[in-house]
Structure 1
Amino acid sequence: MPTDKNGRRRVVISGVGFITPIGNDWAGVASSLREGRHGFERVEFFGNPNVPVKVAGTVKDFVVESMNWRDWKWPARYEIARETLRGLAPHGVYAICAIDQAVEHAGLARETLANDDAAGLYCASAGSAMMLHGHLSQMDRTRGERGNPMGVVSSISGTLNFNLAAHYKITGSVCGFVSACASGSHALGYACDDIRLGRLNRAVVVAGEELNAETLLPFAAMRALSPQSDPNVASRPFDTARDGFVGAGGAVALILEDAETAAARGARALAEIAGWGQAADGHSVAMSHPEGRGLANAMKRALSDAGASTGEIDYINAHGTSTPVGDRAEALAIKTVFDTNKKQPRISSTKALTGHPLSLAGAMETAFCVLAMNEGFIPGNPHLVNTDPVCEGLDLPRETLNERPRLVLNNSSGFGGSNVCHVLRAVG
């Protein structure tokens, strides 16, 4: 049985599915990442030009703005039954499409997941603020006399867990994670551990987020969003002129398997999850620790878990949201862990192209790393013009590099000081 140096079962990623602002399949995402092509568009909420949010990372080829599932549209290649749609939130549509894509990419049949006590589902989602608002407003208007019978399961934070577990007939395990922008990375880490420990042989990890006024505009009240109206300069991680993040939506799914299980069915391993770690800031309800203390500890723990040294890391996919405080804290955290007098990993934030999809971020960027490792390139920082002096000594390439990273570190940070990092190792 293949094990790592600690005697644990090795965990590989055998399939990924993308519904993102920069593409809805492997080829589309690969092209966007290589070419530094963003997925931002001008948006207007409530028909009000005075709303201070002008740009967002939109999902193309989907129409899910309505609360009524009968109005929704998605690419014809995906089939979603009426009985499933009734309980979904809009990002549940994204999630099903991403999972179906990932299952196909892994060379599995969808039926393979059904009624398999060794297959689990791990979800990351904050729920649907739009659906929750709509259902509660209906209750208020009718003084409690009317309500949608699917209102709870389509709106609260477990909506992906409830609906997808039933849709795919998952019997191994089902759980969800709500740790803000670290949610997707938490889902990935705990799924990895359940396979390592022999509780499961296979897991689906999916994270989703929708892009609408109810999800995004509350962040404007926190002054966390960029007010820029030009999509080409709105998201610029680590730049001195950065002024907030750009919201985004979508879903990404990853198929995790025990290495022996994957090999037995002739599957191609796209990457190995070599290790992961987490640590908390203990500092603020919303802002990162000013010196990135928790993130630094999470990186150290991930490297230790993977049995890897800092000198072996070829690339860091930074959390890099393009906020003044967050990017500074991450730069300092990286400099705490990686000696700037020694070999430096390449660093970039793909949120320069996608924007920040909140709960989805960690899963999406892990999948981007897997893609880059297999396609043989390192994404650049296309909107970086004037690098913040705090980044001095860090390697932040502006252009895509035709280098295949063999060992990659992916960072995620969320509200309350949740920090999660993963180390991915190339296979073959």
Structure 2
Amino acid sequence: MAFLPVVTGLGFITSIGNDRDAVLRSLKELRHGFEPVVFLNNPTLPVKLAGTIKDFSFPSASWRDWRWPSRYEIDRELLRGLPPHGVYAYCALEQALADAGLQRGDLTDGATGIFCASAGSPFLLGNFLEQMRASRGERGNPMGLVSSIAGTLNFNLASHYKISGAVCGFVSACASSSHALGYAMDEIRLGRQRRMIVVGAEDVTDESILPFASLRTLSTSAEPTEASRPFDKKRNGFVGTGGAVVMIVEEAGLARSRGAKRYAELAGWGQAGDGHSVAISHPEGAGLREAMTRTLRDAGISPGEVDYVNAHATSTLAGDRSEALALQAVFSTANAFPKISSTKALTGHALSQAGVMEAAFCALAIAEGFIPGAAHLEEPDDACAGLNLPRTSLEEAPRVVLNNSSGFGGSNVCHVLRKPT
């Protein structure tokens, strides 16, 4: 017997807003979240912008120096084991629980699990290792390891909320939280769990963003409207960001029995590898094309039924072109022309957090009856010929939405969300 997963709660700490209403306004009005940043206190560096998280501050590796909005109370014992993005995640999770009408006690029944995605905290890991080397191994932060490595979110959140259901972390670069969401869907569809919490979060620090400059994937534009412009001919890289987004996914019968609102149904998902390169997408988008095809098949949806696609498009030269060709192959050849945009034009690229963040944006679009426009797009790349790229947000209610994600090594993951029936 298959069970239907539905979205019942959302929480946001992002560059375009730190709650549902702020994010909704930004998506509708195409407000970006970029600010000037001097990385490593070096103004000569060519990377000038980041998608900053407002009202949070992490000036040192000591949690005693950290600041966050006063409405969130974080237990000291929890805080000692968190990285900066763990603070974001805790705040977003508290939002999502309130949005879904859940109490902490509702999470301890064994029928609730948590899947998380992050790259860990290079900021804290570097500090921890420096301490260890400086003391020749004789001194170190006892929480340094659990606060900094890639599983830090699931370590901390599962233990703090006393979750005894499925607990796992996912690491597939920029497809990580999309994998987390897909496998969370399967936990519910297979009847293994009745509720899943899906978390994606990343630091916004020099150490988490600047290494991408070595790959020549970061934008060097200092003007925010020119720095992140997916599918545009003049794009020159992405703008780094982070934060946290949390999605509560429940079995539809459980949601119905407790009178929970439903943002969207999670109708299907799929994945496929490129089998091509460690860092660059297949030039013709072969893996993403197959992932979209498998996702539509899993959902029982034809290309012509899709109203909107939130593209992975990060604003890099190779990646956007690859995705445009994949979209052409799946939709244009089927004489289907869904609206397409990439909300990374507003947020920047949140790496492993991106998949669940953009799935949450899709859920908002379905629930609130609008389609986010292709912000900052002036002249589409030639590969986009025939694709429907609206320049402004549309007051048009999508019934079926496709969300795309791609990561290093050619990991491609897609989800179909649809209006609840």
User: What's the TM-score once normalised by structure 2's chain length?
Assistant: 0.99
Give a deviation string over 1:278-327, Cα, whole Å, max 9, x none.
Answer: 00001000000000000000000100000000000000000010000000
Q: Aligned partners of 1:331, 1:379: CA distance in 2, in Å?
A: 18
1:335 counterpart = 2:350 = no
Amino acid corresponding to residue 344 of structure 1 in structure 2: F
Task: Name the SS for the 1:232 alignment partner.
Answer: helix
> How many percent identity over aligned positions?
64
Q: 1:391 aligns with which of 384, 397, 415?
A: 384
In structure 2, C-alpha distance between the alignment counterparts of 1:216 and 1:65, rounded to whole Å: 16
**1:22-421 → structure 2 map (5 Å cutoff):** 22-113=16-107, 115-340=108-333, 342-421=335-414
- 1:22 and 1:106 map into 2 onto residues whose CA distance is 22
Q: Count how many residue pairs are aligned between Structure 1 and Structure 2.
A: 421
Runs of 4+ in 1 over 3 A off after TM superposition: none
Offset of residue 341 of structure 1: 6.6
Shift of 1:76: 1.5
What SS class does the counterpart of residue 336 from structure 1 fall into?
helix
Tell me how far apart the structure 1 counterparts of residues 94 and 332 of structure 2 sit (CA, whole Å).
Answer: 42
On the 8 A contact 2:3/2:189 being kept in 1, the answer is yes
- Report the Cα distance in structure 2 between the residues aligned to 1:71 and 1:133, rounded to whole angstroms: 18
Q: Matched residues in 2 for 1:420 and 1:186: separation?
A: 7
CA deviations over 1:8-36 (Å, ceiling 9, x no partner): 10000000000000001111001001111
> What RMSD in Å do the two structures reach over aligned CA positions?
0.9
Letter in 1 for 2:18: N
Conserved? CA contact 2:47–2:218, under 8 Å:
yes
2:110 partner amino acid: D
For the 8 Å contact 1:153–1:162, the answer to whether it is kept is yes
SS at match of 1:77: coil
Q: Which moved more, 1:242-251 or 1:42-51?
A: 42-51
CA distance in 1, matches of 2:123, 2:93: 23
CA distance in 2, matches of 1:379, 1:386: 18
Q: In 1, are the aligned partners of 2:332 and 2:386 still within 8 Å (CA)?
A: no
The 8 Å contact of residues 65 and 212 in structure 1, kept in 2 or not, is answered as no
5+ residue gaps, structure 1, are 1-6
Determine the C-alpha separation between the residues in 1 that align with 2:58 and 2:415.
32
Report the Cα distance in structure 2 between the residues aligned to 1:227 and 1:157, rounded to whole angstroms: 28
Scaled by the length of structure 1, the TM-score of the pair is: 0.97
Q: In structure 2, what is the equivalent of residue 4 of structure 1? A: none
Which residue identity does 1:32 align to in structure 2?
Answer: S
Secondary structure, in 3 states, of the residue corresponding to 1:27? helix
User: What amino acid sits opposite 2:10 in the alignment?
Assistant: V
